[in-house]
Amino acid sequence: MKRALHAEWTKMRTVPGPLWLLLGTVGTTVALSAAATAVVNCTANGCGGDTTKLTLIGVYLGQAPVAILAVLLIGGEYNSGLIRTTLTAVPRRATVLAAKAVTLTGVVAVGGTVAVLGAVLAGRLILPDLGDRELSPSSGPTLRALFGTVLYLILIGLLSLGVATAVRDAATSIGVVLGLLYIVPIVSQTISDPEWRRLLEKTAPMSSGLAIQATTNLGSLPISPWAGLGVTAAWAAVALMVGGLLLRTRNA
């Protein structure tokens, strides 16, 4: 395992793609969050909604580079044929996937933390009086939202890694993951039956997982924050299990 981890970390840090995608996550998250915060009409009493969730809205787009990074981690190797070299160097395929998952978790945790803290810092600078009160990391709900958002980004990365392992093509895997993240919530809004719409919102990986960002009016959510993150974790676990099984049973 140690050799596999070293190999994956070497591949991660010696090519420019992962760094640019992580910077894309940070830049997109902070920029979109700052823009959303700047255009909302806020007063000393609040912004008419969940201020913490507002400052983290950039994650909606910031998660896309994370998904692409995770897909390329193994999908890129399938496209280039490098996967044969990887599996020759480390014949135990479960070890290869585990090493990729651990490496991905580490880099996304760092990039996600920078992105989340940057978004909140931007919110505090744009809303100095309100931000000091409602965006304080010492607040339990705010801290849960920040920590949970980083976990959410990690889970999206692991979900994408599992999908790419199963599909074995980078472009197709990116389409599947982004469709799952962005198209499913759009489809849910077209459903007229409120019960079915609520069920879809509770089971889709993005709408359920991002419930972790909510700090107010939790009773109105389709699913509670930690339960929602658990749904996203279940998606990631299933994707990794299916991908791992197919990796072990198929030829490279």
Residue 229 tokens read as 């993150």
3-state secondary structure 160-174: HHHHHHHHCCHHHHH
pLDDT at 47: 60
Instruction: Look at residue 108 and give its three-state secondary structure.
Output: helix
Model confidence pLDDT, tens digit, residues 76-124:
888 887 888 777 777 788 888 999 999 999 999 999 999 999 998 888 8
User: Is the model's pLDDT at 206 over the cut of 80?
Assistant: yes
**In which region does residue 193 sit, left (phi positive, over 0), alpha (psi from -120 to 50) or beta (all else)?**
beta
Can you give the pTM of this predicted structure? 0.91
pLDDT at 135: 65
The set of residues, in sequence order, having a beta carbon less than 8 Å from that of 166 and lying 6+ positions away, is 239, 242, 243, 246
Model confidence pLDDT, tens digit, residues 21-57:
999 999 999 999 989 888 776 655 556 667 788 889 9
The answer to whether the CB of 3 falls within 8 A of the CB of 90 is yes
pLDDT at 72: 92
Confidence of residue 130 (pLDDT cuts 50, 70, 90): low
Task: Please say whether the dihedral angle defined by the alpha carbons of residues 231, 234, 240 and 245, taken in this order, is positive or negative.
Answer: negative
